[in-house]
Amino acid sequence: MFANNQSSQPITMAQKVRIKDIAEKSGVSVGTVDRILHNRPNVSKSAREKVEKVLKEINYQPNMYASALAYNKSYTFYIIMPMHESEAYWQEIEEGAMKACDARRDFHIDVQVAYYTRLDTKTFSETFQDVLDKAPNGVIVVPSEFEITKHYTDLLHERNIPFILLDSYMPDLNPLSFFGQDSFCSGYFAAKMLMLVAAQEKRIMLMKQTKDGKVASKQQDNREVGFRHYMKDHFPAVQIVELDLPLEADRSEYDAMIESFFNNHPEVHHCITMCSKAHIVGDFLLRTNRRNVQIMGYDMVGKNANCLRQGSISFLIAQHAFMQGYNCVDTLFKAIVLKQKVDPINYMPIELLSKENVDFYRRTQL
């Protein structure tokens, strides 16, 4: 009974809006409304205008969750990340990603991890190409060198496969989103906190883990830039002495290099590293009973936490690796499955952990 193809009864937001209600108010069929809501073809211009006018009037918000469930499609996301041992920053990321996958299991989400060897562009290329061959719905990338990473992210763009950058931000790659710390600010902050306890020192040690003279990520490079910027501005007289520990070495080799460093620099009492391996030095300090030396580092992994509690690590900067992994998968889910807009840059908090507050740290915010 709609003589003018318009409903005489208004639809309020307090009511549950049905397709039938929209059809009656628009003066079109239920099938036409369904096609418009799902952006399907074969709808006249006049019918579309009528329906869109009603949708605007009632501020209609589609239930994307229900639509995605009804669509019953499967989605596969890949994480391309460095191969790692247990109790590492990367393990936390992986566990967070799997938790997000489990949380979205009703939507048929599958997350696969593809590993490459750090600082090895050949294995990065092989791993990335293998992922491309599997035609994923979305990809999370821990970048390698810029040019080689760009080659493959350009292929993702060509194939309309959304991707998220994790750990190192490279804006020129035009990712869907990024998760990680502001590396420069993090390094600057690290220096500021270190010098609260090392203000009287003439020398401090900067420990690096490298392969062929390169640190493992652009993030660590940028942290060091921030660190040195602060030191130059506020403690220009303090000498920064580097200790280079190779990525592929065992504990006895590390012990020998660290022992040699402290024998040559007995005046060094404070150290810092921009990676998650402060425990390599921290454990050495505990085993050799050097109670007058401490190191500061990154990431709340088990070995670091133990050294922090026992006093060989002074501070840790946490960056919620678990939540980075979780949020990367959840962001792909929102963008690809729910068709929602997502934030392009997501900087993680820069949090300082000490012996006194480490046991109150929670890796999740769920």
More confident residue, 162 or 53: 162
What is the Cα Rg of the chain in Å?
27
Q: Tell me the per-residue pLDDT of 266-310, one tens digit each, with 9 for 90 and over.
A: 999 999 999 999 999 999 999 999 999 999 999 988 899 999 999
127 close to 115: Cβ distance less than 8 angstroms: yes
Better-predicted residue by pLDDT, 137 or 18: 137
pLDDT at 4: 40
Average predicted confidence (pLDDT) for the chain? 89
Phi, psi of 114 (to 5 degrees): -120, 125
Confidence band for 85, pLDDT divided at 50, 70 and 90: confident
**Res 25: pLDDT:** 87
Q: Please, which pLDDT band fits residue 8 given cuts at 50, 70 and 90?
A: very low
What does the pLDDT average to over 40-48?
Answer: 85
pLDDT digits 0-9 by tens, 187-222:
999 999 999 999 999 999 999 998 888 887 888 999
**pLDDT for res 67:** 60
pLDDT for the residue numbered 146: 93
DSSP code per residue over 162-227 = -EEEESS--GGG--SEEEE--HHHHHHHHHHHHHHH-TT-SEEEEEEEEETTEES-HHHHHHHHHH
The pLDDT value given to residue 14: 40
Which residues face 207 on adjacent strands? 243, 273
| Buried/exposed 258-267: b ≥16 CB within 10 Å, e otherwise | beebbeeeee
Is the pLDDT confidence value at 366 over 70?
no
Q: Which helix (H) or strand (E) holds 242?
A: strand 239-246
Q: Is 110 left (phi over 0), alpha (psi -120 to 50) or beta?
A: beta
Q: Is the pLDDT of residue 70 over 70?
A: no
Q: What is the pLDDT of residue 64?
A: 57
How many residues in total does the chain contain? 366
